[in-house]
Structure formats: structure tokens, C-alpha cells
Amino acid sequence: MKNKLFLNADVGEGMLNDELLIPYLTYANIACGGHYGNEASIANTLKIAVFNKVKVGAHPSYPDIENFGRSSMQLSREAIFESVKQQINLFVAQCERFKIKMNHIKLHGALYNDVFNSEEYTKWFFDWVNNYYPNTYIFIPIAAVSYISTSQKSNALVEVFADRNYGSNLTLIARSNPKAILNSVDQIVNHVSCMVYNGQITTLQGEIKFVEAQTLCIHGDHPLAISIAEKLTTIIE
């Protein structure tokens, strides 16, 4: 039986391909000031998403424009999530201009990894979102599904990555590894086809892992992002 995976991508990050990429998506994760973005970039990206009837979500990160949010920061939990709240509220304010609702939240980069590598932080983040932004979906990596309760799963959209290799514990291979990113469309097609048709991921170590997910991420800053989106649309539909 074919698994249904809906495409998502991180957009509004200063790439020049948003207008071409967003029409392929079900979910657009829009940078909101932590690693990139401001009122104008959020509004411009929302305009494209609304025109294409794509669901929109906030894409907050560590407050770290210099490193594009891809480096961990030694901040207190309170400081981290005060920053995240400011970013999300900036996004929500722009959504209100377009009379649309925030559908989901997807953390970015190092913050995504740091929160979802910890059972304590994962559960806490779900509770935090439910408190401040009820009825909002949360993107969660496949490796962290076991951390959340049955009741929390109703708010989760389990995510797998089209253009990244996985380790044996189903976490993403670090970007410092030259094999972390899949760099050809053919590699990505094979990787995703296994997920869609067999419910499997083959790890970098050659192990086969069975997975259940709802959404598939393409990185908007991948140099082949548009070609990848076009090809994957034919596989997942």
C-alpha cells in the first residue's frame, strides 16, 4: 500500500526560488526572524502561499542570523522559548493581515535537533505549544515519535527528509559529514520511493528501518530544490 506523504519546505529564507517551489507544497514553513526573516519577507512569502492555497507555518530557530540557525546556543530554556514566542508572534501578526491561520510550527536547524533529541524537551515543547498556540500542529522528526504521549500525537506531523541521509538511530546525519546531504535527483528519488512504497529508510550504515510519517521535507536551499519537488510530486501522488 502506498504511503501518503505531503511535501513541505522551509521557505522565506532569502532564496530566489520560493515562487517556483511553493506551488508544489502542501505545507510552507516560513522563516520568522531567528535565522532569517522580517515582516516584509514573511508577508511576501505568505502572499505566494495564499495564492497557491498552501498551508502555512512558523519556522522559528535559535536567534542566530550569523550561523543561519545551524549552531547550538547555550541559552536557558526560558530565553530560548521567549525568542521562539517572539518569532511566532511576528508570524501570526502577518497571518492576521492575510486573514489566515497558522497551521503548524516547525523548528529550524540546531533548535529542531536540540529539542527533539531530548524526551524531556520534546514533551515540554508540545505542552508549551498547546499552552500558547492551541490547535496548532507540530512538525516532529521520526526519531522523536516515541517521546510523545498518545494525546500529544494528535498534534504531531511526523516528518522525514527527502534530501538527507539518516543514521541507525533515525536521526539525521550531521551536516559536517560529506554524506549527510543527497546531492542528486536520482539518489533522492530512490530514497523517497522506499519510504512511499515500502515504508522504509535505508540508513547510511545500510540498515533498513520501517517508518510511518505524514510529511516529506525538501530544503529550499538545496541547489536542485525545484527539480526535486517536480520529480517527487509524481511519486507521492
pLDDT digits (tens, 9 = 90+) for 28-47: 999 999 999 999 999 999 99
**Percentage of the chain lying above the pLDDT 70 cut:** 100
The Cα–Cα gap between 104 and 153 comes to 14
3-state secondary structure of 43: helix
Q: What is the pTM of this model?
A: 0.96
Give the H or E element holding residue 233.
helix 225-236
List, in order of start, the domains of the chain with CATH numbers.
Answer: 6-161+212-222 (3.20.20.370)
Residue 237 has pLDDT above 80, yes or no: no
* Grid coordinates belonging to 33: 526572524
pLDDT digits (tens, 9 = 90+) for 105-154: 999 999 999 999 999 999 999 999 999 999 999 999 999 999 999 989 99
Q: What is the dihedral of CA 79, 41, 94, 52, to 10 degrees?
A: -130
pLDDT digits (tens, 9 = 90+) for 160-187: 999 999 999 999 999 899 999 999 999 9
